[in-house]
Structure 1
Amino acid sequence: MRLKKTAALWATAVLGGLTPMIAQAETTLNALFMAQAAYSEDDIRAMTKGFEEAHPDVKINLEFVPYEGLHDKTVLSQGAGGGYDVVLFDVIWPAEFAQNKVLVDVSDRITDDMKSGVLPGAWTTVQYDGRSYGMPWILDTKYLFYNKDMLAKAGIETPPKTWAELKADAQKIKDAGIVEYPIVWSWAQAEASICDYTTLLSAYGGDFIKDGKPDFQNGGGLEALQYMVDSYKSGLTNPNSKEFLEEDVRNIFQNGDAAFALNWTYMYNLANDPKESKVAGQVGVVAAPGVEGVSDVSAVNGSMGLGIPTTSKHPDEAWAYITYMTSQKVQDEFARLSLPIWKSSYDDPAVTKGQEELITAAQKGLAAMYPRPMTPHYQEMSMALQQGIQEALLGMNSPEDALGAAAENSGL
């Protein structure tokens, strides 16, 4: 039995590009994950069980926190002298984490098969300054979800292709008395609002930073916030959007209280599940709209990766776990709430069956993903922007003044 255990760990080490090793009597890894969106907790527990069955000498202690606590939990664990061996991290953090040596540089562990098999855009999730700080795991952007039945009742034959069309369609639905607030967003003073704002900024052709200085207060960045404010003031947007996160958006939409919603991949199958949703079977999804003469679609890079904190005492076992969790076999098996990072997965009927509409939207959306700025000062910039967006929505400041103040306080 001992030989089988050693052989299994040896095989994983070779596949993951590690120096082969022999596991000690029982190694426990502490892994930090997110308790919202993308893979469910049940999915992650099932994946982890598969790893533990293949590696009886390694046990995984799972911890789930809301997205809003993920960054600080990871950083604070460094000062506490460790704590985690594997952490989930957002695409916006590698610059900060690299500068502060929070994550292990795993560039030398990335195999040729990984490099060639993973979608090129997915690698941007874990890279900074030419180095890799983990493996991409969640490949995601925000899509426009719509209620097919509501659109049909309003005489709307196809989902909107531009943000202007979305506003016009929402007005038709509201005027017909189909639903009071046709649009719902996640505009709470949190990173969720930045993701919605980024989607619109990409549509309007804006820039976060130009020549090393903030530029979101100009051009497309200003137009993006103006669209948000206009939608909010028009009565087309659910007024509680200013307090909503993504799960709130999902609940409103699948309860039949909105015709349109911007949200991540995971909402598609949940909102189409009769056990979860009142609108199952009526849920459509397309890439987020564009702006006439500027863009065809819009998208934010909302991907996430798995990395090893520099304080981990078990980096080899941690890498074995990461390579298992991000492997094509595992990702294809759990492709209902998060789409795989592997190119060939999209040719597999087992992955695409039943979610062809989502895959079609993903082919457009994932190709257009717009990055939030890769800067060590991202957290400071994001918080300043979150505050500016809230002030503009609440009428405390004009979009121009709100973004101007955010630029001054961005730390850039």
Structure 2
Amino acid sequence: MSKSFRNSLLGAVIISASLVPHAFAETTLNALFMAQAAYSEDDVRAMTEAFQKANPDIKVNLEFVPYEGLHDKTVLAQGSGGGYDIVLFDVIWPAEYAENKVLVDVSSRVTDEMKKGVLPGAWTTVEYNGAYYGMPWILDTKYLFYNKKILKEAGIDAPPKTWDELTADAKIIKDKGLLETPIAWSWAQAEAAICDYTTLVSAYGGDFLKDGKPDFQNGGGLDALKYMVSSYESGLTNPNSKEFLEEDVRSVFQNGEAAFALNWTYMYNLANDPKESKVAGDVGVVPAPGVEGKSTVSAVNGSMGLGIPTASKHPDEAWKYIVYMTSQTVQNQYAKLSLPIWASSYSDPAVTAGQEELIAAAKEGLAAMYPRPTTPRYQELSAALQQGIQEALLGQASPEDALKAAADNSGL
């Protein structure tokens, strides 16, 4: 073979190779998500596939874990020198993550358009000491769900507006033999119980901390736990609530075994789906009740954000993915299990159609969201409180003693 022919053949191979589309994505991102509540796994996969189609040079590997595994997975991966490029994080973690440099400060990447368009309360999800550690993605609080059919059969004209009314209504339902235990809660020894407790703390006007020290053992914090214990001991609350997480509550409510349930946004459309639920069409939702003389509604900030771990080697591509996932277009398209972070979405018929009752409840509930304490030692505080709540429910300690012990063991 002549030298000139060999060179021309080599040139042809190089040119033809350059015309062949890339067989593999240039950048692979690893993303950690939650396998329960809010957006479904199918939703997240569909969003991600659309992103990859629009960005063929980026591939996203998705991993889903139960909420209880999110925090530790994120921190352990960081310690091993990488693993994730995008992580879902709870509103309670930015303080710890910022102090320990787990997440990238993305303040310089957040545009004015984002700042103006996103609901102000949503930014609290990702903010710590004036910096942003991600984009808010799931805007959520707990609502009071009720079974319209059961309330009608009991002669109850409207859902309760106070927690005392809820107790009275549940007693009417029980006394009429409609349900043995009309109320379902998420009171397992997990963060779910803290969210229910926080909702009640907000109703009773309590404080978690005062001057950086625990204060939940006093005032409204103590009243909140007393209400939980009273509801449990009265026989109006499903006794298995002490082991329930949110999905257990949804299952019980959807089976028609609860007249009242506290749960996140996602339950509304699932419980109204005839393929999923025995009570479809009878599901009502209102903001969680208040306490006479103290509050009109109650709510916990259960929002979550998407952030970039500092160990990520692809922060630019990760941010591109986060911007897509949190965009108004995508959020409006998937607004049935999680409501958008964008203010103008709530006047968009594509978002509100078919869930007007939920949107009405959201306008009140989201405006009243009460934060769990902002502290780098939140995990210790939460664990101590979870134990205290469980001991009080089981009658192993009085509410006073349980909360005093939790305060002593909180690490603060």
Query: Which category of TM-score, normalised to the shorter sequence, fits these structures?
Result: over 0.9
Q: Distance in 1 between matches of 2:212 and 2:382?
A: 16
Q: Flag the structure with larger Rg.
A: 2
Aligned length: 389
Contact 2:25 2:56 in 1 (8 A): no
Aligned partner of 1:11 in structure 2 is none
Q: Distance in 1 between matches of 2:226 and 2:353?
A: 39
Contact 2:25 2:59 in 1 (8 A): no
After superposition, the C-alpha distances for 1:347-370 in whole angstroms (9 at most, x for unaligned) are: 100100000000000000000000
After superposition, the C-alpha distances for 1:339-386 in whole angstroms (9 at most, x for unaligned) are: 000010001001000000000000000000000001001000000000
Aligned partner of 2:355 in structure 1 is 355
Does residue 233 of structure 1 match 2:222? no
Letter in 2 for 1:334: Y
Structure 2: runs of 5+ lacking an equivalent: 1-23
Q: How does 1:390-405 map to 2 (within 5 A)?
A: 390-405=390-405
After superposition, the C-alpha distances for 1:28-82 in whole angstroms (9 at most, x for unaligned) are: 1000000000000000000000100000010000000000000000000011110
Aligned partner of 1:119 in structure 2 is 119
Q: Distance in 2 between matches of 1:86 and 1:343?
A: 25
Q: Distance in 2 between matches of 1:54 and 1:180?
A: 53
Q: Distance in 2 between matches of 1:85 and 1:74?
A: 10
- Length-normalised TM-score, structure 1: 0.94
Deviation at 1:26, TM superposition (A): 1.3
- Length-normalised TM-score, structure 2: 0.94
Does residue 408 of structure 1 match 2:394? no
Aligned partner of 1:278 in structure 2 is 278
After superposition, the C-alpha distances for 1:246-275 in whole angstroms (9 at most, x for unaligned) are: 000000000000000000000000000000
Partner of 1:411: helix, strand, or coil? coil
Letter in 2 for 1:340: P
Does residue 377 of structure 1 match 2:377? yes
Q: Distance in 2 between matches of 1:42 and 1:161?
A: 36
After superposition, the C-alpha distances for 1:89-131 in whole angstroms (9 at most, x for unaligned) are: 0000000000000000000000010000000000000000000
Q: Distance in 1 between matches of 2:26 and 2:246?
A: 38
Letter in 2 for 1:224: A
Partner of 1:167: helix, strand, or coil? helix
Does residue 129 of structure 1 match 2:129? yes
Q: Distance in 1 between matches of 2:255 and 2:212?
A: 44
Aligned partner of 1:187 in structure 2 is 187
Letter in 2 for 1:250: R
Q: Distance in 1 between matches of 2:212 and 2:263?
A: 30
Aligned partner of 1:4 in structure 2 is none
Aligned partner of 2:211 in structure 1 is 211
Partner of 2:102: helix, strand, or coil? coil
Q: Distance in 2 between matches of 1:384 and 1:309?
A: 27
Contact 2:103 2:133 in 1 (8 A): yes
Q: Distance in 2 between matches of 1:79 and 1:409?
A: 26
Partner of 2:197: helix, strand, or coil? helix
Letter in 1 for 2:396: M
Deviation at 1:25, TM superposition (A): 5.6
Contact 2:391 2:397 in 1 (8 A): yes
Does residue 309 of structure 1 match 2:309? yes
Q: Does the C-alpha gap of structure 1 residues 100 and 266 become closer, same or farther in structure 2, counting only changes over 3 Å?
A: same
Q: Distance in 2 between matches of 1:233 and 1:342?
A: 42
Partner of 2:265: helix, strand, or coil? coil
After superposition, the C-alpha distances for 1:124-161 in whole angstroms (9 at most, x for unaligned) are: 00000000000000000000000000000000000000
Aligned partner of 1:259 in structure 2 is 259
Does residue 167 of structure 1 match 2:167? yes
Q: Distance in 2 between matches of 1:36 and 1:301?
A: 17
Letter in 1 for 2:46: A
After superposition, the C-alpha distances for 1:12-31 in whole angstroms (9 at most, x for unaligned) are: xxxxxxxxxxxx96111000
Q: Distance in 2 between matches of 1:288 and 1:366?
A: 11
Partner of 2:285: helix, strand, or coil? strand
Aligned partner of 1:8 in structure 2 is none
After superposition, the C-alpha distances for 1:282-315 in whole angstroms (9 at most, x for unaligned) are: 0000000000000000000000000000000000
Q: Distance in 1 between matches of 2:374 and 2:209?
A: 10
Q: Distance in 2 between matches of 1:49 and 1:56?
A: 10
Aligned partner of 2:29 in structure 1 is 29
Q: Distance in 2 between matches of 1:212 and 1:253?
A: 39
Partner of 1:33: helix, strand, or coil? strand
Q: Distance in 1 between matches of 2:182 and 2:79?
A: 46
Letter in 2 for 1:170: A
Q: CA RMSD in A?
A: 0.7
* Moved segments of 4+, more than 3 Å: none
Q: Distance in 2 between matches of 1:309 and 1:367?
A: 30
Once the two structures are aligned, what percentage of the paired residues are identical? 81
Partner of 1:39: helix, strand, or coil? coil
Deviation at 1:212, TM superposition (A): 1.5
Q: Distance in 1 between matches of 2:25 and 2:333?
A: 30
Partner of 1:374: helix, strand, or coil? coil
Aligned partner of 1:143 in structure 2 is 143
Letter in 2 for 1:52: Q
Partner of 2:410: helix, strand, or coil? coil
Q: Distance in 2 between matches of 1:340 and 1:130?
A: 23
Structure 1: runs of 5+ lacking an equivalent: 1-23
Letter in 1 for 2:347: D
Q: Distance in 1 between matches of 2:209 and 2:25?
A: 51
Letter in 1 for 2:361: A
Aligned partner of 1:88 in structure 2 is 88
Q: Distance in 2 between matches of 1:144 and 1:129?
A: 33
Partner of 2:82: helix, strand, or coil? coil
